[in-house]
Amino acid sequence: MPSPALLLRHPSCRTPGALVLALALAGCAQQRPSGYYETPQESTMSDAQYQAQGRSGARAPSQIQLGFGGQKPAGETSQEQAAQASAAIKARPLAEAKTFLGTLPCLAGGSGCSATRITLTLAPSGEWRARTVFLDRPDPANNIVQQGCWDVIGTQPWRILLQLQNDASKANLTFVNDNVLRVNLIDDLKPALDYHLTRQADIDPINELKNPAALHCAG
């Protein structure tokens, strides 16, 4: 009679459970695609982007473009960005485009003088646009739209001067905070009381002025 050691070495003496396990492993190995255990290697470019963007892969949102003066040629992009950066340094509250809205009484006096609702959009490039609506004549045909350049005239608190294209003064404004402007002078008239323009959630590009050429306000 063969010894137990010989029986263990003989193939026919393997247990049914061992054979089933071996067949299952062989089947799994055949189903796995080539390179199953290989991990992809990142390229130098993708690795650099991953490190720069962080694990979330989030990108900073691009700066809001109001389209003042229409589309700029590609060659002017860097110059425009430099001008915007310079303006933002001069006026921290205007590092991004903002639209303000407020209602002013008639400051000139006299009969037939109407209160007005003013929408003012300020761009980091140093440009501004405004729409004035007469409350007793709200038809768009009666609206006044204007544009020009703003400049900083004070920093404690921040104050800006709005000038028209002919260098005439339109308004003198003070930032009460980053989202509220106090009207000091408008059309060379000083309000007897405090009136404010409040920042709006949406940017109003004052599309009535979308066709005029861009102004060169920075400098």
Q: What is the mean pLDDT of residues 22-49?
A: 46
Residue 168 within any structural domain of the chain = yes
Residue 195 within any structural domain of the chain = yes
The CATH number of the domain holding residue 183 is: 2.40.128.640
Residue 4 within any structural domain of the chain = no
Residue 42 within any structural domain of the chain = no
Residue 123 clears pLDDT 70, i.e. is over it: yes
Residue 172 within any structural domain of the chain = yes
Q: Please tell me the predicted confidence (pLDDT) of residue 67.
A: 53
Residue 218 clears pLDDT 50, i.e. is over it: yes
Question: What is the spatial distance between Cα 131 and Cα 144, in angstroms, rounded to a whole number?
Answer: 6
Residue 165 within any structural domain of the chain = yes
Do residues 121 and 128 touch, judged by C-beta distance below 8 A? yes
Q: What is the mean pLDDT of residues 158-167?
A: 94
Q: Please tell me the predicted confidence (pLDDT) of residue 219.
A: 55
Do residues 97 and 88 touch, judged by C-beta distance below 8 A? no
Please tell me the total count of domains within the chain: 1
Residue of 107, 108, 106, 172 lying closest to 134 (CA atoms): 106
Q: Which domain range does residue 125 map to?
A: 79-209
Residue 171 within any structural domain of the chain = yes
* Residue 36 pLDDT class (50, 70, 90 cuts): very low
Q: Please tell me the predicted confidence (pLDDT) of residue 89.
A: 57
For residue 172, list its beta bridge partners.
161, 185
* Tens digits of residue pLDDT in 51-89: 433 333 333 333 445 555 444 444 555 665 555 555 445
**pTM score, whole prediction:** 0.63
Residue 26 within any structural domain of the chain = no
Task: Name the more confident of 210 and 28.
Answer: 210
